[in-house]
Amino acid sequence: MQKNRAVTIRSGTPAPDRKQGGAVLIVCLVMLTILTIIGIGTTTDISFQSNMVRNSQLRLNAFNTALSELNGQYRRLDNAADASTDNLLNEALDLGELGEAPIPAADLTQTSANNPFSQSVTIVYLGKEIKPVDGEEIGVKGGPTYYFELNSIVELDNTGVGSNQTIGITQLKPKQPE
């Protein structure tokens, strides 16, 4: 019988250095920490960007709501057959210059159940026959011209989101109620 002999094969690679003492573990932990910080920064950046997009969309919706309300009220006021139009303009006239006559909430055109904005629309009487810089009167033949502003204010409650739109109206003196 032969005895088993241990055969040692020598290669050209040296034996691992036992003095490293976990250096690979420390390097891996440092790299993992750096990657975690980059990941958290990216997530925060994406969150900020999505909030900016949402705010931009809300501001655009507020602008469009205010402008649509303004256009709807202008068309309504431009309709000469509507007796409530003359009443609103006369109310603004009675308040005097820069007096604001609010349009009732029931008459607003952009109200609906899914509209998150609070709205107000006012008519402001600016004056009669405003004179330009050169001193000549602006007016229409057949009577004095009255100048009004139609203001539409739309705001989203508890935020800084809103829009304020204004349109100028010139009109002959409104009919007095009978």
Q: What is the pTM of this model?
A: 0.62
Query: What was the pLDDT predicted at 136?
Result: 56
How does DSSP classify residue 147? E
> Helix %, strand %, coil % for the chain, to 5?
40, 20, 35
Summarised one tens digit per residue, pLDDT across range 90-140 is: 777 777 777 778 787 777 776 776 777 888 888 888 877 655 555 555 544
SS3 4: coil
For residue 146, the surrounding DSSP H or E stretch is strand 145-156
State the DSSP string of 73-96: HHHHHH-TT-HHHHHHHHHHHHH-
